[in-house]
Amino acid sequence: MESCACSAISPIRKALTQRSSLRLAAENTDCGLRANCVLPGVIDTPANRRDMPDADTSGWTSPEKIADVLLFLASDASAAVNGASIPV
């Protein structure tokens, strides 16, 4: 797999997103807004399998597992969760 310039940007973009989520959570607690950050690893998609044919896919996350976390965060069951960074 060849490296590209965008691979250096990805962790920076993720860190900024995570930081923004924490700030939103801290600044909006009083008005009932919750903000959390979902941190998926490599997502098991046909495109990723095609683009990385020799990769070990055993640790890849299915879109369904990410959706499960998002559904939980959108539910009343996660009412106490705010400002969390959740690796999936």
Residue boundaries of the structural domains of the chain:
6-87
The confidence score (pLDDT) of residue 7 equals: 74
Q: What per-residue confidence (pLDDT) applies to 48?
A: 96
Selection from 82, 85, 80, 44 nearest residue 65 by Cα:
44
Residue 3 has pLDDT above 70, yes or no: no
pLDDT at 2 over 70: no
Contact status, residue 69 vs residue 86, Cβ threshold 8 Å: yes
Q: How confident is the model over 17-46, as pLDDT tens digits? A: 999 999 999 999 899 999 999 999 999 999
Q: Residue 60 has what pLDDT?
A: 97
Question: What kind of fold does domain 6-87 have according to CATH?
Answer: Rossmann fold (3.40.50)
> What percentage of residues in the chain have a pLDDT greater than 90?
81
